Amino acid sequence: MAFLDIANLDKFYGPTHVVKDFNLSVEKGEFVSFLGPSGCGKTTTLRMVAGFETPTSGSIRIDGRDVVNLRPNQRNIGMVFQAYALFPNLTVAQNIGFGLKVAGRRRSEIDERVQEMLAIIHLPELGGRYPFQLSGGQQQRVALARALAVRPQLLLLDEPLSALDAKIRISLRQEIRAIQQKLGITTIYVTHDQEEALSMSDRIVVMNAGVAEQVGDPFTIYNRPATRFVAGFVGTLNALEAVVTDPARGALTIDGQAIVLGRPIEATAGAKVGVALRPETVALGSRPEAGASLRGTVRDVQFLGSVLRVRLALDRQVVALDSFNTAALRPPAVGDDLEVGFATADMLVVSAE
């Protein structure tokens, strides 16, 4: 049995079904992210694990024990909030020691643990400061230390980096992951930021409209999305419509241009299917070896520094491609007639209609 077991979890707010038959098993020490747009039920699921919301039905087991009927303060769970939620009247050290003091630990033990936690978050000098004297990034590190000081069996983070600016976000996500691995604590991380989820997690749960669409490691989620939603939400994506001409050979046409995937498609000849292509798998120029190509007219060119993003108009549809910028390569101009190529293995058939 897994360390955290969520089975058949459902949550209704009145008539609204916000979490639908959610199932997940998390191993001890694993870092799992809930990824999805706002309103997809990821935070509600997290709050049910924390005990702030009661499931309509289903079970949540931590280390074999059903916690659904336990109050939040009985679950031994560490929680980090988007708004930091540090106690404004307490110093950094008192904030970190709060949980231990509530638990009635000895003063010397609390002091020792607080120093230890301050060292882990690399703020050993700031124990005497008040929260308002800290930057956002520092406050969130203190909040993390406070949640971890009580040695919780589970760490829950609810969009902890959303209120911070981009640079801090990147450095702090590396720091959170490093601390999590160092302590080996089982962690659930809620985010709407795919980069965060992809870079930090052992596994990702992609959620949409209350349903866990796909559970998998970041590599699988990105490269082998199970549903069209996952493909579209994680990473940018060309979603194109194609007509199947020969399902056995995987032959299809996109805006009249023939592509042969060389693998069978589960659809009948003449059926319309959705195909997906990541912009970074498409390259300027044709790809004769094991590849396919499309011709079109350059609609616009975005220069993003290291990357050149070109949008190519086919007959009705548009294909975007990302190409690394090299000084030797002249960017194509708008209106150029151009051929682009990709490996057929990179083209995913995401839904047959």
Partner 1 sequence: MRPNRIWAWLALAVGILYFALPLIGTIEFSLRMRRGVYSFDAYRAVLGDPQFRATFSFSVVMALMTIVLGVLVVAPTAYWVRLKLPRWRPVVEFVTLLPLVVPPIVLVFGYIRLYNTSSWLPLTGTAGGTNVLLLAGYTVLALPYMYRAVDTGLRAIDVATLTEAAQSLGAGWITIMARVILPNIMVAILSGAFLTFAIVIGEFVLAALLNRPAFGPYLQVLGANRAYEPAALAVITFAITWACMGLIQLVTRLQKHTQVPR
Cβ 50 to partner 1 shortest distance, Å: 6
Query: Is the Cα torsion angle 273, 274, 278, 283 positive or negative in sign?
Result: positive
**Residue 298 binds partner 1, judged by CB under 8 A:** no
Binding string to partner 1 for residues 165 to 204, with x set by CB under 8 A, is what? ----------------------------------------
In angstroms, the first-to-last Cα distance of the chain is 38
Compare residues 132 and 166 and give the one whose CB is closer to partner 1: 132
Cα separations in angstroms, 330 against 13, 20, 111, 280, 327: 56, 51, 62, 18, 7
DSSP code string of 215-279: EE-HHHHHHS-SSHHHHHHSS--EEEEEEEEETTTTEEEETTEEEE-SS--SS-TT-EEEEEE-G
Cβ 143 to partner 1 shortest distance, Å: 8
Compare residues 12 and 81 and give the one whose CB is closer to partner 1: 81
Cβ 151 to partner 1 shortest distance, Å: 11
**Residue 151 binds partner 1, judged by CB under 8 A:** no
**Residue 77 binds partner 1, judged by CB under 8 A:** yes
Cβ 106 to partner 1 shortest distance, Å: 16
Cβ 171 to partner 1 shortest distance, Å: 22
* Count of residues of this chain found to bind partner 1 when the rule CB under 8 A is applied: 33
Burial of 78 (C-beta count, 10 Å sphere; 0-12/13-18/19+)? buried
**Residue 102 binds partner 1, judged by CB under 8 A:** yes
**Residue 258 binds partner 1, judged by CB under 8 A:** no
Site for partner 1 in 115-144 (CB under 8 A): 130-133, 143
Inter-helix orientation angle 166-183/136-149, to 10°: 20
- Which token pair is 196? 């965060």
Site for partner 1 in 19-58 (CB under 8 A): 50-52
Q: Which of 8, 54, 83, 165 binds partner 1 (CB under 8 A)?
A: 83
Q: Which of 9, 32, 79, 349 binds partner 1 (CB under 8 A)?
A: 79
- Which token pair is 86? 């540090």
10 in helix, strand or coil?
strand
Inter-helix orientation angle 92-102/136-149, to 10°: 20
Cβ 136 to partner 1 shortest distance, Å: 12
Q: Which of 42, 113, 141, 146 binds partner 1 (CB under 8 A)?
A: 146
**Residue 81 binds partner 1, judged by CB under 8 A:** yes
Cite the beta strand spans of the chain per DSSP E: 4-13, 16-26, 31-35, 57-62, 65-66, 77-80, 154-158, 187-191, 203-208, 211-216, 238-246, 251-254, 257-260, 272-277, 283-284, 291-303, 307-313, 318-324, 337-343, 348-352
Cβ 149 to partner 1 shortest distance, Å: 8
Beta strand pairing call for 154-158 and 4-13? unpaired
Compare residues 89 and 268 and give the one whose CB is closer to partner 1: 89
Cβ 77 to partner 1 shortest distance, Å: 6
Residues forming the site for partner 1 (CB under 8 A): 50-52, 71-79, 81, 83, 85-90, 98-99, 102-103, 130-133, 143, 146-147, 150, 156
